[in-house]
Amino acid sequence: MITHTYGVYLSNTIDKALLLDLLLPPKKCPLDCVICPLGATSHFSVEGLKPPPPPKLLEDAKSNGPQDTVLQETLVWGFGDPLLLEDLDVVLKGLKEAGIARIYVHTSGLRAKQVEKILGVADRVLIPYLWYGEEKHALGWAPDKSFSAFLELLRELVSKSSGKIQLELYVFRLGISTYPSLEHLDEAIARLAAIRIEEIVVKPVERPSPGRNIKPPAPRYVDALAEELENRGFNTRIEHAKLPNSPFKWRRVVVSLYNHILRIPLSTDEIRAYYGNLGVIALNNLVSEKKVARVSWGKKLFYKGI
């Protein structure tokens, strides 16, 4: 059973955010980022998509979210870019009115009118940046989209956002190359300075992207890159996923776990930390039913829903 609610996200920059997917499969996105945990984009162009109404989302969260925790933050992302949805701002307002204190929206497509609408409702709009040098098309930037137009739009949005735009600079290895290289970083810094971004969240890739030759970056390289950004005048933080102090209690462990790993590959330690011993039992059942695949990555074993 595919649900809109698919787990909880914890990091050193976001505290216990309920994960909401307003799109559902198949993946729909204007880009094809190589670091995406969903794998390759299947639908690039879609029209007239409508989000589910707030009551349906709230009922879904009540049925499939953790039952022992009141979550006042939500991260909106899932099978693609939520800004493909029409009237997204109306749905976000409904969630706010229902008591969600903070809403984070993750978008890579940057539809201008949509972003301007949701900036009035969302507390933070998260925008990934992994468009380095001449390789940006190989990294997933669409050849038919103007990158200079994207940068100009981003500059305009930053000037209007009152600090709500958060740029996420991804660090990863692809094959034998590390991105961004030092040359890439110089170029990225020049572009981001022109956009007048003041705060950058450095995001080392911490989990596999199905079908891609992505690997985690060396921690020392990530630290050095963040230090260089600080030296160049940016307020910089390195984001890492965190584990809960104790497992959440789930109404339907199998459904919740499956929906989580359908979007985001989880390691054995993460599954145990989020779902406890019942989660491990549920995982073994899902593996035996061939609904989950094992992925060896970065000296860890991950599980990804099929």
Tens digit of pLDDT for each residue in 261-276? 999 999 999 999 999 9
CATH number of the domain encompassing residue 297: 1.10.10.10
Q: Which of 103, 98, 117, 122 is nearest to 19 (CA)?
A: 103
Is the peptide bond prior to 25 cis by the omega test (within 30 degrees of 0)? no
Residue 113 pLDDT level (bands cut at 50, 70, 90): confident
**pLDDT one-digit tens code per residue, 181-198:** 999 999 999 999 999 998
213/254 same-domain check: no
pLDDT for the residue numbered 44: 80
Q: Count each helix (H run) and each strand (E run) in the chain, helices first.
A: 8, 13
Q: Which domain holds residue 44?
A: 5-242
Asked which of 242, 265, 284 is the last residue of a domain, the reply is 242
pTM of the model: 0.95
| Both structure tokens of 26 | 């198949």
DSSP letters of 84-106?
GSTTHHHHHHHHHHTT--EEEEE
At 25-80, the pLDDT tens digits run 999 999 999 999 999 988 887 777 899 999 999 999 999 999 877 788 999 999 99
Shared domain for 79 and 169, answered yes or no, is yes
Tokens 């870019």, located at residue: 81
Same domain, 78 and 224: yes
Asked which of 242, 268, 295 is the last residue of a domain, the reply is 242
Tally the domains of the chain.
Answer: 2
Q: Are residues 215 and 268 in the same domain?
A: no
- At 264, the amino acid letter reads I
Distance of alpha carbon 138 from alpha carbon 102, whole angstroms: 35
Per-residue pLDDT tens digits for 117-155: 899 999 999 999 999 999 999 999 999 999 999 999 999
Structure tokens at 113: 């009118």
Report the distance separating Cα 103 and Cα 185, nearest Å: 30
